């Protein structure tokens, strides 16, 4: 579970950074604003790739959580089955050839 929580925390931070709207940029030493490219904007492609990677990691965390819950459900079902089998062993009964419950003396139950 701690792996999932760590992945969730990383994803929240990642999403916050990816969706942060950046103001105008100034290159070091220059006061003029750097104008973004209009054709083939690399920043747009980079942001799309970042968001796709983020969504993948979010789905991965969801998958890990579902797998953990499935394992827990399987263990719970197996424990219930063991409990039911223990209860059934307390009864002195079995099935005859017609699959009817009978006691050890052959009387129908």
Question: Domain coordinates of the chain in residue numbers?
Answer: 2-103
- Residue 79 pLDDT: 97
Spell out the residues 6+ positions from residue 82 whose beta carbon is closer than 8 angstroms to its own: none
Task: Give, rounded to a whole angstrom, the gap between the first and last alpha carbons of the chain.
Answer: 48
Global confidence as pTM: 0.51
| Nearest Cα to Cα of residue 5 among 70, 64, 51, 50 | 64
Provide the residue-wise pLDDT of the chain in tens; the chain has 109 residues. Answer: 678 888 888 888 878 777 775 555 555 555 555 555 555 677 777 778 888 888 888 899 999 999 999 999 999 999 999 998 888 777 766 666 776 777 667 677 6
- Residue 49 pLDDT: 82
- Residue 11 pLDDT: 81
Q: Hey, what are 78's tokens?
A: 């197996």
């Amino acid at each position: 579970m701690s792996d999932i929580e760590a992945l969730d925390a990383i994803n929240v931070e990642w999403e916050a950074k990816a969706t942060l709207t950046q103001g105008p940029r100034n290159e070091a030493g220059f006061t003029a604003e750097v104008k973004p490219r209009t054709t083939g904007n690399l920043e747009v492609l980079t942001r799309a790739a970042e968001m796709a990677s983020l969504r993948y990691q979010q789905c991965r965390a969801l998958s890990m959580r579902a797998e953990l819950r499935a394992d827990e459900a399987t263990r719970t079902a197996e424990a219930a089955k063991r409990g039911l089998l223990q209860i059934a062993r307390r009864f002195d009964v079995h099935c005859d050839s017609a699959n009817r419950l009978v006691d050890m003396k052959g009387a129908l139950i």
